[in-house]
Amino acid sequence: NGKTADIAITERGSDFYFAICAAMTVSGFCFIALAYRKQRRDRLFHYLTAAVVFVAAIAYFTMGSNLGFTPIHVEYSRSNPKVSGSYRSIYYVRYIDWFITTPLLLLDLLLTAGMPWPTLLWVIIVDWIMIITGLIGALVDSRYKWAYFAFGCFALVYIVYQLVWESRIHARAYGRDVERVFTMCGSLTTVLWILYPVAWGLSEGGNVIAPDSEAVFYGVLDFLAKPIFGALLIWGHRNIEPARLGL
């Protein structure tokens, strides 16, 4: 059967997805409301961050509705250990969300640090490689999935290097307040982004935790990486003229 998976979310997992969907939606409207207190040309970070949470809201709506997944063959089923060969729901819709939103989050950070456009482009391309290799690894049913996972981890190492080293040093040149917001949001991002491959290894990768636990793991990460990150970023920019960053 190509449509159902025996390892899938329950009603509670679905409710949790809808709760995160609501949180994303509410924070999106808050960011837009804050944008209207600014001149049109000073709304860049509000718009970028609102776009991130609205896209995530739609992805969470999809997962709460138990759509946007495909059943992938796994070796072992916890609920039915005697059966070798079960099917787990793999939510490919996450990767569509991440393909759109992770570059926007990187723009939030790298533009705060005043990085030039060739760097923005290069880091976003590396980010896309990370997301797509993660998607392929999630969808293939063999030991090759860990090769794709390794490619994605290399890409993440480079992104982390850009954030904790190159961009952090660049941000310093724009003054104490820029350095402060970059350090705060950059550190939060570094810690959270490193936890995504951990969640992946336990869910799509190793089928160690149940899809409901996967919902909570990724859900908490996404809640911190999008609305909480966004609120800190917009707050940190309250006294920074985008023109100072060349924007």
Shortest reach from residue 81's CB to ligand RET, in Å: 27
Least spacing, CB of residue 127 vs ligand RET, in Å: 8
CB of 23 to ligand RET, least distance (A): 13
* Closest residue to bound ligand RET by CB: 134
Q: Cβ 233 to ligand RET, closest distance in Å? A: 12
Closer Cβ to ligand RET, 164 or 177, answer by number: 164
Complex with ligand RET: residue 177 or 232, whichever CB lies closer: 232
Beta carbon of residue 204, minimum distance to ligand RET (angstroms, whole number) = 8
Where helices occur in 65-116 by DSSP H, the ranges are 93-112
Instruction: Specify the residue, 83 or 194, whose C-beta has the smaller distance to ligand RET.
Output: 194
How is residue 56 written in tokens?
């995530």
Binding stretches for ligand RET (CB under 6 A): 98, 101-102, 105, 130-131, 133-134, 149, 152-153, 156, 193, 196-197, 200, 222, 225-226
The smaller minimum CB distance to ligand RET, of residues 174 and 234, is found at: 234
Closest CA to 148 of 136, 157, 131: 136
Q: Which is nearer to ligand RET, 105 or 174 (CB)?
A: 105
Q: DSSP string covering 15-79, please?
A: HHHHHHHHHHHHHHHHHHHHHTTS-GGG-HHHHHHHHHHHHHHHHHHHHHTT-S-EEEEEEE-SS
Chain centroid to Cα 28, Å, comes to 16
Q: Which residue from 131, 124, 177 is spatially nearest to 152, judged by alpha carbons?
A: 131
CA distance 197 to 82: 29
